[in-house]
Structure 1
Amino acid sequence: MNINERRDGGSEAVLVIIPTYNEADNIAAIVSRVRASVPAAHVLVADDNSPDGTGKIADELADSDDHVHVLHRAGKEGLGAAYLAGFAWGIERGYDVLVEMDADGSHQPEELPRLLAALDGADLVLGSRWAPGGSVVNWPKSREFLSRGGSLYSRTLLGVPIKDVTGGYRAFRRQTLEGLGMDQVASQGYCFQVDLAWRTVKAGFKVVEVPITFVERERGDSKMSRAIVVEALWRVTAWGVGHRLGRLRPRR
């Protein structure tokens, strides 16, 4: 299918990238909701060889819908690697907008039209839990504290004017991703999201936050782990220290 056919009448071609690992209970429902919310959009399921059969379910969805595609990856390599592979897949095929979305329903597809509309005046749109009007549902206070604290720490240390810098519901223009030096990104999890947001700001692109309601998953297991949090902490600290030292060095 060529790019003009994908545009469905001339609008920008949108690719929603959904990384999966053991999301057999969720993938069909989330793809169906994306297709209903933005019928012109295409969906790419980037599956890390899930042992629960998620990839097979995704293949069946793709067989019955030419707007659904599957990227089978060799094994579990982390969220950042899955998104980078998805971005490369979409850019190679000429999509104009590339969206990050979780498979578990925490990022509500019904809110995607608002994110896409906000791209009219932005290079990156973030679905924000902590911007005015944003919220979370069914989160313990400890999880909210961790997320708010992570965003505040990253924002303060890196000088990034984003309230929800760790959030993972995002819509990028293709040109934005092409200008970020994606071949140098090696971070994962929370840290991957901070990394891309910081790169976007440093490159001079315009970032807009749109408030969303984040809903905790009802089925399957969260991929959040202590290792992901620790990686984010030390990487952001290292970046922040380097950033501040660089600003203190005398210019010649």
Structure 2
Amino acid sequence: MIFVVLPCYNEAPNLLKLIPKIDDALKGQDYQIIAVNDGSSDRTGEVLLQLSEEYPIRILTHQRNMGLQAALKTGLSEAVRLGKEGDVVITMDSDDTHDPIHISQMLEKIEDGADIVIASRYVKGGKQVNVPVHRVFLSWGINKVLGLFSGVPAKDLTSGYRAYKWECLRRTFDALGERLVTSQGFEISVELLVKVFYFGNCSRIEEVPLYLDYGRKEGGSKMNLRKTIMGYLKLIPEIRKWKTGKGDLQ
């Protein structure tokens, strides 16, 4: 089984485009989309219900907006609960900037023995277009800094578009429980990757080229630049603890 975890907050028009593309990418595969409607104020809930009549979507709903951390944790918890050894869990954005066309290559890497596969902007063939310049430089700089501190062998630590072996997430949940992810902002993707790498004992990481087109997204950005920078910087001392196994253990 392949689980696709989609945290959703006010993404109604984007989901109408994204879900059929996920289905195309996974034709003939046993898969389920776990969509977490995080207290959306638009038609996200209605759109998901409509799409679930045609596609295998499991809808989980937060009655109020609880943030990316809570939505991702809810989705991953459900995937771990439902899954078994040999399954794959994919995380991706629901704003249609992550093209499902990359999923097949990610699954091939998992089948070849990778524990985690990252859709990466920074490997050969990767590219990002229509992305605001400040976000390009922020992402590049943050990846350089966190790469030095984390010890994780990847070029794109901030990409949330990933495939995980189910067993990696299971072991990380067993070690950390509710403290699987605690960050409140976009830095959550780095936190999850580092924790799965160390606490899930999943050291084989592969990357595939990601073509990221920010122009496909409908609606404004949800990123607060100052909060995002501060969030990443606060991760550095935490990462040092995770590397030694001293942080976040129950």
Q: Could you say what secondary structure the match of 1:127 adopts?
A: strand
Distance 1:173 1:61 in 2: 27
Q: Could you say what secondary structure the match of 2:97 adopts?
A: coil
CA deviations on 1:143-193 (whole Å, 9 max, x unpaired) are: 111001111111112222211001110111111001222521211333211
Is 1:29 the counterpart of 2:21 in the alignment?
no
* Structure 2 counterparts to residues 61-100 of structure 1, below 5 A: 61-65=51-55, 67-94=56-83, 96-100=87-91
Bigger radius of gyration, 1 or 2? 1
Distance 1:93 1:82 in 2: 17
Is the alpha carbon distance of 1:231 and 1:84 closer, same or farther for their aligned partners in structure 2, counting shifts above 3 Å? farther
RMSD: 2.0
Distance 1:138 1:235 in 2: 29
CA deviations on 1:34-56 (whole Å, 9 max, x unpaired) are: 00111222212111121111011
Cα offset for 1:201?
2.5
Distance 2:75 2:142 in 1: 26
CA contact (8 A) 2:5 2:90 kept: yes
Q: What is residue 183 of structure 1 aligned with on the other side?
A: 178
Is the alpha carbon distance of 1:130 and 1:78 closer, same or farther for their aligned partners in structure 2, counting shifts above 3 Å? same
Q: Which runs of 4 or more aligned residues in structure 1 lie more than 3 Å from their structure 2 counterparts after TM superposition? A: 240-244
Q: For residue 37 of structure 2, what is the amino acid of its counterpart?
A: D
Q: What is residue 163 of structure 1 aligned with on the other side?
A: 155
Distance 1:68 1:241 in 2: 38
Q: What is residue 100 of structure 2 aligned with on the other side?
A: 109
Stretches of structure 1 lacking an aligned partner (at least 5 in a row): 1-12, 248-252
* Structure 2 counterparts to residues 24-63 of structure 1, below 5 A: 24-39=12-27, 40=29, 41-63=31-53
Aligned-residue sequence identity (percent) comes to 30
Q: Could you say what secondary structure the match of 1:156 adopts?
A: helix
Cα offset for 1:240?
4.6
Stretches of structure 2 lacking an aligned partner (at least 5 in a row): 246-250
Cα offset for 1:111?
1.2
Distance 2:46 2:73 in 1: 22
Q: For residue 155 of structure 2, what is the amino acid of its counterpart?
A: K
Distance 2:186 2:145 in 1: 12
Distance 1:132 1:117 in 2: 18
CA contact (8 A) 2:3 2:32 kept: yes
Cα offset for 1:76?
1.5
CA contact (8 A) 2:118 2:208 kept: yes
Tell me the TM-score normalized by structure 2. Answer: 0.86
Q: For residue 199 of structure 1, what is the amino acid of its counterpart?
A: K
Q: Could you say what secondary structure the match of 1:189 adopts?
A: coil
